C-alpha cells in the first residue's frame, strides 16, 4: 500500500468538484485507489508516503479524439473549412511519413507531447498506411501511456491520391491487429472508418463486423460540417440523416463501444440514435471553431444522458493543452447560452469531461473514487498565484482558465511514476526540457 498526500481535486459527478485539502490517497499494490483519508491508518509505514506539499493532485486527462499523424500541421490552414482543409492539409501531410526515420522523429515528439500535457489516455485516429501506425504502436507501448489506436479506413473515391482500395484497407488493418492487439494491457486496437464521405459501404460494414467479432471498439466522425452532411445525404439517398448511414452499415449498436467525434449538426432523431446505441461523443471545441464547423450542443447531450468527453482533434484543433480545450468548451457553450438560452458548461462540468467523462471509455480512470486506478497528475500552480491565499476550489478554476503543461510536474499511472518517454532515465521532469 502507498499513500500520496496533497490537495486532492476530482469530479465524481459533473455538477461539482470533490476536494480534499491536505489529505492522503491510499493506493494498493495494483495501483487501485482504496480511499481518501485525512490521516494515515494506524500502523501505516510513513516511508510508503509521497508528500506533494501544497501541490494539487488531479486525475490524468483523456483526449477522446485526435489524429497523431496530422501533428506537423498543428495551427495551419484554419482559414479553410473541413473538406478543403482535408484536401490541402490532412492528406498531403501523410507524405512526410514515407521515410521511416522522419516518421519516427515526428511520432516520438508527438508521444512525448502527450506525456508532457498529462494526457495519460487517448483515443487516436491513425494514418492510412501500415508503417506509420506500426511505429506509433511501438512508441505508445514504450511510453507506458494508455491509448486506443486504429488504422484510418478511407477507401472511397479512387480518383484522389493517397486513397487505398477496399482490399488494401482491410489487409493493412488485419496486419496491424495481428501484430499489436494483445501485446500490451495499455495499448489496444480500435476499428477506425474515417467518415461516411471517405468510406465504401463495404468497409463500414466490415469494420462494424470486426468490432463485434473481436470485441474491439470503433471510432469515426459524425455531423461535423454542413457541406459534409449534405454530401452524405446526396450520396446515401435512402437515409434520412447521417447517423442512419452508420446505423444501416452496422457501425452503431448497443453491442459495440463507439466514439463519434464532433456531432454538431445532429437532428433530434440522430440524438436518439446516439443515445440508444450508447455512443460516446467526442467534443472538439477548438477544431469546430478553427474550421468554422459550428458549436456542438453539449448541453443537449448531457441532458439526454449521452456520454461526452473532450477531444483536441489535433490538428484541426491546435493544442494538446487540455486546460485550453476545457476553456474552449466552456466558451463555446456560453455562445450557445447567449444565442439559444442553453445553460453553459460550468468549470466542474468541463473538468469532468476531460477526466472522468472521456475516462469512462477506458473504464476505471479519471476519478479518485475507490476502485479507480491512481492515474494522476501533480500540479504546482504557484506560478499562477497572486499574493494571496486561495482555496483548492479557486486554484483548480484558475488552473483551468490560465494553466498549461508547465504546471504539470509529475505523472502517475497505476501508482507508478511515468518517466518522460524516450528520455533514457527514470523520472523525467518538466525541468529537463
Ligand atoms: Fe477528427
Question: What's the grid cell of residue 234?
Answer: 446526396
Taking the domains of the chain in order of start, what are their residue ranges? Answer: 2-60+366-417, 61-359
Place 386 in a pLDDT band, splitting at 50, 70 and 90. Answer: confident
Question: What's the grid cell of residue 116?
Answer: 508532457
% of the chain with per-residue pLDDT over 70? 96
Q: What is the C-alpha to C-alpha distance for residues 307 and 109, in angstroms, rounded to an integer?
A: 31
Question: What's the grid cell of residue 118?
Answer: 498529462
User: What architecture is the 61-359 domain classified under in CATH?
Assistant: Alpha-Beta Barrel (3.20)
Q: What is the C-alpha to C-alpha distance for residues 142 and 136, in angstroms, rounded to an integer?
A: 10
If you measure from the C-alpha of residue 38 to the centroid of ligand 1, how many angstroms do you get, rounded to a whole number? 43
If you measure from the C-alpha of residue 314 to the centroid of ligand 1, how many angstroms do you get, rounded to a whole number? 8
Q: For 41-65, give one letter per residue: b (16+ CB within 10 A) or e.
A: eeebeeeeebebeebbbbbbbbbbb
If you measure from the C-alpha of residue 66 to the centroid of ligand 1, how many angstroms do you get, rounded to a whole number? 6
If you measure from the C-alpha of residue 120 to the centroid of ligand 1, how many angstroms do you get, rounded to a whole number? 19
Which residues have CB atoms below 5 A from the ion given as ligand 1? 261, 313
Q: In this predicted model, what pLDDT tens digit does every residue of 54-68 receive, in sequence order? A: 999 999 999 999 999
| CA nearest to 216, candidates 186, 177, 176 | 177
Mutual orientation of helices 130-143 and 100-116 as an angle, nearest 10°? 40
C-alpha distances in Å from residue 153, one per residue of 33, 225, 421: 39, 20, 29
If you measure from the C-alpha of residue 56 to the centroid of ligand 1, how many angstroms do you get, rounded to a whole number? 32
If you measure from the C-alpha of residue 418 to the centroid of ligand 1, how many angstroms do you get, rounded to a whole number? 27
If you measure from the C-alpha of residue 135 to the centroid of ligand 1, how many angstroms do you get, rounded to a whole number? 20
If you measure from the C-alpha of residue 44 to the centroid of ligand 1, how many angstroms do you get, rounded to a whole number? 47
pLDDT at 425: 42
If you measure from the C-alpha of residue 1 to the centroid of ligand 1, how many angstroms do you get, rounded to a whole number? 41
CATH of domain 2-60+366-417: 2.30.40.10
If you measure from the C-alpha of residue 134 to the centroid of ligand 1, how many angstroms do you get, rounded to a whole number? 20
- DSSP string for residues in 249-281: TT---TTS-EEEEE--S--HHHHHHHHHTT-EE
If you measure from the C-alpha of residue 261 to the centroid of ligand 1, how many angstroms do you get, rounded to a whole number? 6
Q: What is the C-alpha to C-alpha distance for residues 232 and 19, in angstroms, rounded to an integer?
A: 46
* Element containing residue 430 per DSSP (H, E): none
If you measure from the C-alpha of residue 284 to the centroid of ligand 1, how many angstroms do you get, rounded to a whole number? 8
The DSSP bridge partners found for residue 307 are 280
If you measure from the C-alpha of residue 169 to the centroid of ligand 1, how many angstroms do you get, rounded to a whole number? 19
List CB contacts of 45: < 8 A, sequence separation 6 or more: none
If you measure from the C-alpha of residue 312 to the centroid of ligand 1, how many angstroms do you get, rounded to a whole number? 9
If you measure from the C-alpha of residue 2 to the centroid of ligand 1, how many angstroms do you get, rounded to a whole number? 39
pLDDT score of 432 more than 90: no
Place 429 in a pLDDT band, splitting at 50, 70 and 90. Answer: very low
| CA nearest to 88, candidates 168, 193, 195, 161 | 161
Mutual orientation of helices 166-180 and 130-143 as an angle, nearest 10°? 20
If you measure from the C-alpha of residue 392 to the centroid of ligand 1, how many angstroms do you get, rounded to a whole number? 34
If you measure from the C-alpha of residue 241 to the centroid of ligand 1, how many angstroms do you get, rounded to a whole number? 20
| Cα–Cα–Cα angle for 337, 343, 348, rounded to 5 degrees | 120
H helices of 265-386, in order, are: 268-276, 285-290, 298-303, 322-340, 347-352, 358-359
Place 159 in a pLDDT band, splitting at 50, 70 and 90. Answer: low
Q: In this predicted model, what pLDDT tens digit does every residue of 370-385 receive, in sequence order? A: 999 999 999 999 999 8
Lowest mean pLDDT among 42-46, 119-123, 161-165, 322-326: 161-165
If you measure from the C-alpha of residue 65 to the centroid of ligand 1, how many angstroms do you get, rounded to a whole number? 6
List CB contacts of 148: < 8 A, sequence separation 6 or more: 122, 123, 124, 187, 188, 189, 190, 217, 219, 361
If you measure from the C-alpha of residue 395 to the centroid of ligand 1, how many angstroms do you get, rounded to a whole number? 32
If you measure from the C-alpha of residue 123 to the centroid of ligand 1, how many angstroms do you get, rounded to a whole number? 11
Q: What is the C-alpha to C-alpha distance for residues 328 and 392, in angstroms, rounded to an integer?
A: 22
Q: In this predicted model, what pLDDT tens digit does every residue of 194-207 receive, in sequence order? A: 999 999 999 999 99
The DSSP bridge partners found for residue 187 are 147
Q: Is 309 within 8 Å of 258 (Cβ atoms)?
A: no
408-413 vs 416-417, strand pairing mode: antiparallel
pLDDT score of 426 more than 50: no
Q: Is 105 within 8 Å of 139 (Cβ atoms)?
A: no
pLDDT at 376: 98
280-283 vs 258-262, strand pairing mode: parallel
Q: Is 32 within 8 Å of 371 (Cβ atoms)?
A: yes
If you measure from the C-alpha of residue 221 to the centroid of ligand 1, how many angstroms do you get, rounded to a whole number? 6
Amino acid at each position: 500500500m502507498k499513500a500520496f498526500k496533497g490537495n486532492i481535486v476530482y469530479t465524481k459527478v459533473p455538477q461539482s468538484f470533490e476536494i480534499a485539502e491536505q489529505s492522503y490517497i491510499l493506493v494498493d499494490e495494483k495501483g487501485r485507489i482504496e480511499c481518501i483519508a485525512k490521516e494515515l491508518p494506524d500502523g501505516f509505514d510513513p516511508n510508503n508516503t509521497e508528500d506533494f506539499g501544497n501541490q494539487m493532485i488531479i486525475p490524468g486527462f483523456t483526449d477522446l479524439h485526435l489524429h497523431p499523424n496530422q501533428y506537423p500541421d498543428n495551427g495551419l490552414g484554419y482559414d479553410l473549412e473541413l473538406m478543403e482543409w482535408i484536401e490541402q492539409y490532412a492528406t498531403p501531410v501523410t507524405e512526410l511519413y514515407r521515410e521511416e526515420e522522419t516518421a519516427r522523429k515526428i511520432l516520438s515528439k508527438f508521444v512525448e507531447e502527450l506525456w508532457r500535457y498529462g494526457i495519460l489516455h487517448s483515443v487516436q485516429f491513425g494514418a492510412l498506411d501500415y508503417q506509420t501506425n506500426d511505429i506509433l504502436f511501438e512508441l505508445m507501448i514504450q511510453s507506458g501511456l494508455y491509448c486506443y489506436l486504429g488504422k484510418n479506413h478511407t477507401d472511397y473515391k479512387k480518383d484522389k491520391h493517397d486513397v487505398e482500395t477496399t482490399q488494401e484497407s482491410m489487409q493493412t488493418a488485419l496486419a496491424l491487429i495481428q501484430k499489436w492487439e494483445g501485446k500490451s494491457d495499455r495499448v489496444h486496437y480500435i476499428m477506425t472508418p474515417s467518415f461516411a464521405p471517405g468510406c465504401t459501404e463495404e468497409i463500414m460494414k466490415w469494420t462494424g463486423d470486426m468490432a463485434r467479432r473481436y470485441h474491439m471498439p470503433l471510432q469515426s466522425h459524425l455531423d461535423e460540417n454542413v457541406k459534409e452532411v449534405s454530401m452524405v445525404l446526396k450520396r446515401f439517398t435512402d437515409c434520412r440523416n447521417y447517423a442512419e448511414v452508420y446505423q444501416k452499415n452496422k457501425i452503431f449498436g448497443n453491442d459495440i463501444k463507439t466514439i463519434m467525434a464532433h456531432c454538431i449538426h445532429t437532428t433530434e432523431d440522430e440524438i436518439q440514435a446516439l443515445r440508444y446505441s450508447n455512443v460516446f461523443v467526442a467534443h472538439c471545441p477548438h477544431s469546430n471553431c478553427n474550421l468554422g464547423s459550428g458549436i456542438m450542443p453539449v448541453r443537449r447531450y448531457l441532458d439526454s444522458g449521452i456520454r461526452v468527453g473532450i477531444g483536441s482533434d489535433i490538428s484541426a484543433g491546435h493544442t494538446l493543452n487540455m486546460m485550453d480545450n476545457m476553456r474552449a468548451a466552456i466558451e463555446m457553450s456560453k455562445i450557445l447560452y447567449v444565442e439559444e438560452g442553453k445553460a453553459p458548461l460550468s468549470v466542474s462540468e468541463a473538468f469532468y469531461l476531460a477526466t472522468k467523462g472521456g475516462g469512462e471509455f477506458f473504464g476505471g480512470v479519471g476519478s479518485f473514487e475507490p476502485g479507480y486506478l491512481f492515474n494522476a497528475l501533480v500540479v504546482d500552480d504557484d506560478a499562477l498565484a497572486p499574493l494571496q491565499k486561495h482555496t483548492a476550489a479557486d486554484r483548480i478554476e484558475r488552473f483551468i482558465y490560465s494553466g498549461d503543461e508547465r504546471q504539470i510536474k509529475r505523472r502517475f499511472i497505476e501508482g507508478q511514476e511515468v518517466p518522460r518517454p524516450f528520455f533514457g532515465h527514470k523520472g523525467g521532469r518538466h525541468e529537463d526540457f
